[in-house]
A and B are shown apart, each in its own frame.
Chain A
């Protein structure tokens, strides 16, 4: 039955991607397409006093300059701007009025015959502002932060237990603002279909989310606007909410009643969303052997003045470590910046970084091997609700990861391992993420010629959705994978949530199985009407679809070709739509886990850090595609390396402006930074979580990596750097 599931099937969209045939949002064309270019705010807070577009309008080829003064009508109520995954608050409205809320906010859209003209004309638009005082520095607003949630109820008396603990560790960790920086520039091409109908090609992780948002903001009829996004050049969370380029492109198209394309520049993308700068305060208490005595974790993250964005940074210890006394708190500091957003493993990438560095520091204080500390504090039950896991093979991750890495050869003493001029450091950390499933509807159209079209309005942001959908459908329908075609990234397809949180694989695969089951039932029903049917007595659970036949599970000789069944039933096609039920009665904790082991080499004199070896062992339920899932883990590790050593947004708080808003000075890893990375999954059957036992793999790869690197750097050098990224200057800091 599983001819494809669990195999290293190559991406079915691979050919399109290696030949340049795959089309991204800025690559769709339309007759008379106009090109838009943005003018963005150079102040951080205040009002637009005047926009002088007269010179821009004089440029030959300029069609219009659109500002808040002459834009088409937009909704006036906050609610109209709330998308499916909006943060609490009052969403930013592109080009709505004269108010400036953040530096880099769009203030005018210049539309011209071609992109060069639009860009030139945009440089001629003169904007005068009335500036207000502003604050963009989290450290300055730390004390004004307000508590937004209690992510997990307190247990025991953490303060008292911490005070009484034999061994204590307490410190602040810091994660700077980081940007997703997908390689594709955010872009939208709006094609004017006549009569006000629009097709919107957008870079997004949720075509239906964008569709609903636009319909609501512009008061359009749902049937008059469709959103299409077959390929997405990376997103990592940045495409979950509708971003301002899509609203601005639609504004221009509606104002001019023609097709318009807007491609943001890389610097303009720093006005979109990001992982918020966060201060993480950790306090851990322990005794020599046994569970932790106390865990206190407080996060203070930045958000915008207009929305409260927050994710669970602080309660991850509940998923990992046995402890009776915990206290968690999450605070937000409001700044004059754009709203942060989900970025790969939001909350966990930052919160678990701090937790796992603190655990390493605790192990040092306990004079205990950090891996041993993980074993002695290991929890088989999720602590907060005191419930079992649907599955948790974290012990296996530790064991297999440590074995693959050779952890037992580690000398615990910092600065004890050397190779010539380099100090060698070995560090480890734990990763954890949620295993979620969302309601999602799949449609399958199976034709008598043995072809199936499988569709849903989801997206493939590089995660491999196309391929796993085809694998699952091929297995469930008993077809060769080449006979399955996949459609996604189109808002008119059946209902799908945004693609994020690692929930898509479980959601779509189980729904394909459910829909295939409906098809099987339909086919079985027809077989009952066939004379001398070998399946006359069979119940739906007794049969499967395999090799183009409907066949008895018990006796493979009792089978009928699907084509024959369809002919008998006079069916040209079977068209089914179904959604797998999403059941979570709260009895089980649902998580993925990982263990990450890292070797760094640090030149003793100079301080250059190289991450020469990474082993990441993950437990993530059933793996649908061992090749693409491996790539997900690998990508997560590369992200962790960037987070640990490179990534940082530099804001000049005098101006409120991001000064490294580009790919030259916002450093992300390049090929030379990446050495040997060994990622693998440990076997983790899970009969509880969902029928197919799928947990999702998009986020787990990054979680824990930065901590393992920071811990390895400490082991190599004896220097503990708690504020990321760990750059050469920080190693020398007093």
Chain B
């Protein structure tokens, strides 16, 4: 039962989809020239077009943090970011955190402290934590908890996430 609706549909009647726009993005260090429809979120661009599926979709409405990536060094929800609006930006995803084949201190700390179970919120947690370290505003466990509250972990690994971030903070010479 193959359907051939595409072929039989009169072109004149069709409702067009938005024209794609040329966008350049530096993703995990690679400069990419892309053609992107305006309605495509940065999250869908990463997952569906670029096959960078480490960034997760948990709600698509900025309510869970699973899609957190770093744009120009700041943590944002990629689900509520239109990719075309980030033309010229640098995007770092979980796939871009390793350097020279070595895990980022946060990645190692998350393993050490069992700071995840199912692993689905984990890339977002780690990118969010990387953003938190860069901000330099969290010094106590209390402050880490508050500033990591935009990342929901349904498995309930929160205390281990805080411990992992504290470990990475000390490893990276920050204050904890």
Contacts and interface: CB of A to CB of B under 8 A. Distances in A.
Direct contact of A and B (CB under 8 A): yes
Contacts of A27: 47, 53
A255 B3 contact: yes
Contacts of A668: 152, 154
B114 interface: yes
Interface string A12-31: 01111111111110110100
Given A663-B61, A677-B159, A462 B1 contact: no
Interface residues of B, number: 70
B120 A24 contact: yes
A515 interface: no
B151 A671 contact: yes
A231 B119 contact: yes
Contacts of A62: 5
Interface string A172-207: 000000001111110000000000000000000000
A636 B93 CA distance: 30
Contacts of A114: 48
A638 B156 contact: yes
Contact of B146 (A22, A183, A672): A672
B118 A636 contact: no
B103 A18 contact: yes
A235 B119 CA distance: 12
Interface in B32-83: 37, 39-40, 44, 47-48, 51-61, 63-64, 66
B55 A14 contact: no
B95 interface: yes
B2 A15 contact: no
Looking at A10, A17, A27, A672, which has the most chain B CB atoms within 10 Å of its CB? A17
A235 to B, nearest CB: 8
Most A CB within 10 A of own CB, among B54, B117, B151: B117
Given A10-B112, A263-B57, A671 B103 contact: no
A631 B157 CA distance: 7
Contacts of A662: 59, 61, 63
A630 interface: yes
A233 B119 contact: yes
B5 to A, nearest CB: 6
Contacts of B9: 57-58
A11 B112 CA distance: 9
Given A185-B57, A266-B60, A637-B156, A19 B119 contact: no
A20 B93 contact: yes
Interface stretch (A115-123, A313-321, A688-696): A115-123
Nearest to B97: A19
B133 interface: no
Contacts of A263: 57
A634 B157 contact: yes
A630 B160 CA distance: 10
A183 B54 contact: no
A414 interface: no
Contacts of A2: none
A97 interface: no
Contacts of B116: 14, 17-18, 462
Contacts of B162: 671
Given A668-B152, A671-B149, A19 B94 contact: yes
Contacts of A463: 117
A309 interface: no
A114 to B, nearest CB: 7
Interface string A439-475: 0000000000000000000000111100000000000
B84 interface: no
A15 B61 CA distance: 28
B2 A184 contact: no
B4 to A, nearest CB: 10
Contact of B53 (A10, A20, A232, A256): A20
A656 interface: no
B100 interface: no
Interface string A616-643: 0000000000011011101111110000
B171 to A, nearest CB: 15
Contact of B14 (A60, A64, A674, A677): A60
A257 B151 CA distance: 39
Contacts of A236: 154
B52 to A, nearest CB: 7
B167 interface: no
B117 A59 contact: no
Contacts of A231: 118-119
Contact of B103 (A15, A257, A677): A15
Nearest to A13: B119
A569 interface: no
A203 to B, nearest CB: 10
A10 B119 CA distance: 13
B114 A11 contact: yes
A183 B117 contact: no
Contacts of B160: 631, 634
B45 to A, nearest CB: 10
Nearest to A460: B118
Nearest to A256: B3
A63 interface: yes
B91 interface: no
A108 to B, nearest CB: 15
A234 B149 contact: no
Contacts of A637: 156
A663 B117 contact: no
Nearest to B122: A17
A58 B119 contact: no
A14 B111 contact: yes
A18 B107 contact: yes
Interface of A: 10-11, 13-24, 26-27, 29, 35, 55, 57-64, 72, 114-117, 120, 124, 180-185, 231-236, 254-257, 263, 265-266, 461-464, 627-628, 630-632, 634-639, 662-664, 668-672, 674, 676-677
28 contacts: A15-B103, A18-B119, A18-B123, A19-B98, A20-B93, A24-B53, A27-B47, A60-B16, A116-B39, A183-B155, A184-B118, A184-B120, A185-B58, A234-B155, A464-B117, A635-B155, A635-B156, A637-B156, A638-B156, A662-B59, A662-B61, A663-B152, A664-B59, A668-B154, A669-B158, A670-B149, A670-B158, A671-B158
**CB-CB nearest 6 A-B residue pairs:** A20-B54, A638-B156, A233-B120, A462-B118, A17-B119, A462-B117
Given A26-B47, A635-B157, 18 more contacts: A20-B54, A20-B94, A21-B54, A35-B48, A58-B15, A181-B154, A182-B118, A183-B118, A185-B58, A185-B59, A185-B60, A232-B118, A234-B120, A234-B155, A257-B1, A637-B156, A670-B149, A672-B145
